[in-house]
Amino acid sequence: MNDVWAVSRNFEPVKFSEEACQRVAKSRDFVETILKENRVIYGITTGVGELVKTLISPKESEILQKNLIRSHAVGVGAPFPEDVVRGMILLRANALAKGYSGVREEIIDFLIELLNRKVFPFVPSQGSVGASGDLAPLSHLALVIMGEGECLKDGKRVPSLKILREKGLKPMKLLAKEGLALINGTQVMASLGCLAATEAELLMKNAQIAGALSLEALKGTARAFDPKIHELRPYRGQIRCAKNMRRLVEGSAIIASHKNCEKVQDAYSLRCIPQVYGSILDTIEYVKSILAIEINSATDNPLIFADEGEVISAGNFHGEPLAFAMDFLGIALSEIGSVSERTVDRLVNPHVSGLPPFLAKKSGLNSGFMIAQYTAASLVSENKVLAFPSSVDSIPTSAGQEDHVSMGTISARHAWKILQNVENVLAIEMICAAQGVDFHHHSPGVGTKAAYHTIRKHIKPVEEDRVLYRDIEKAKELIVSGEIVRNVEEAIGHLE
């Protein structure tokens, strides 16, 4: 997964190993043998899907592959961003390089060159049911290899042939099996999943930091993070989170100042952070384990076993493992937003916060953060809809031949959107918590102080009402860029 991030986001160069070349060459030689023997093999000498009974002559095999890509490139909607598309290309190349797909080395070389020369294929985000792989979006990628379809340049759609010429690349003719091999796979949902899971790890660190800062703003207690409690329910994530929370608020004069106050216990959104956020940490680890298997698998159909002299049609392209994982990730991430929004509500609610109404210094004349909580509530409500599992749905396709589909790409897209919504909710919590700390006369903990100073470096306290959406945007930027986490970890060490 780190490699996916490095190539997708950081434009790390990609190489095709000699060992992989040998595997791919052996697989391709076997496909050529099949063509010479005129054997009946799905997608090589037959049509696809319900048209499997239609025989295709070896002379027509190239036409079949070209027609396959053209007919399957039916995606709609906004295009995937460049990092997602780069992830798709990398993962498709990696799957083909396993040597079970029957393509030529040149096909994989071309995919690698798309990455290294920074070609950005136009791939619409909607149209995959996640069963025979991500057929529609991967077909848009395959069009570019043929010199057809479009690429994106400076935000505009440009004919692929023009872009390829600018980058010094010549379109390729797809030979037998190659078109099918390019589009049978789960690389769209896997790319989304890898990027989302990686971002989710950073998001979780920010969530714990925001929770710790809110705890101080609300004069909560750190007693709920005592290791003795969590050793009695030893979920790994829960123990990790409790330890992080202790370290974040260590040395807090705010918490020490009300150690013997009349409050018995904090609300669940504060007291149960290790139990809730810890469960999310465990969920992310599970999702990563699924992705690690998926992105290193051969997922097209049929699969070529050159050493055994076999071609086997099966269903490794089915996205069910990722569909479940992405649904699970979306559900887990939505819970971050749910907890965060409840914390924001407590921060702005004078009946429970012990702070000025809506964190405004002159409330009434000023509304403070009243409507910021509305925005958080709106995003959390949207997430509840997005978190409904897409994998529980299935609509048969290809005249019933493909009678159960995963909808895994929809699961991944929803998880991605939920993550973005939660980033905004946490941004609101960060600025509300910092505003709450402003009303105290004691110092935060070592970790929370680093977070507070990072926020205040970029976002001034709200003395009187001002336009807040820019503050929310800036806080989100601090979350997504990792600046808050970096400064906190410089102060207290790596968060687990």
Distance CA 123, CA 136 (A): 9
One-letter identity of residue 444: P
d(CA 156, CA 291): 32
Radius of gyration of the chain (CA): 26
Which residues have C-beta within 8 Å of that of residue 496, sequence separation ≥ 6? 240, 243, 244
Asked whether the beta carbons of 300 and 103 are under 8 A apart, the reply is: no
Residues 60/133, Cβ–Cβ less than 8 Å:
no
DSSP 8-state code for residue 58: G
Residue 350: which H helix or E strand, with range? Answer: helix 350-353
Do residues 69 and 89 touch, judged by C-beta distance below 8 A? no
- Measured CA to CA, the distance from residue 64 to residue 177 in angstroms comes to 9
In the chain, what is the straight-line distance between the N-terminal and C-terminal CA atoms, in Å?
Answer: 18
φ/ψ (deg, to 5) at 235:
-70, 135
Query: Is residue 277 among the annotated active site residues?
Result: no
Cα 294 to Cα 197: distance, rounded to the nearest angstrom: 14
What are the backbone dihedrals phi and psi of residue 276, each rounded to the nearest 5 degrees, phi first?
Answer: -80, -55
What's the farthest any 2 CA atoms get from each other in the chain? 86
d(CA 220, CA 161): 61
For the annotated catalytic residues, the residue numbers are: 42
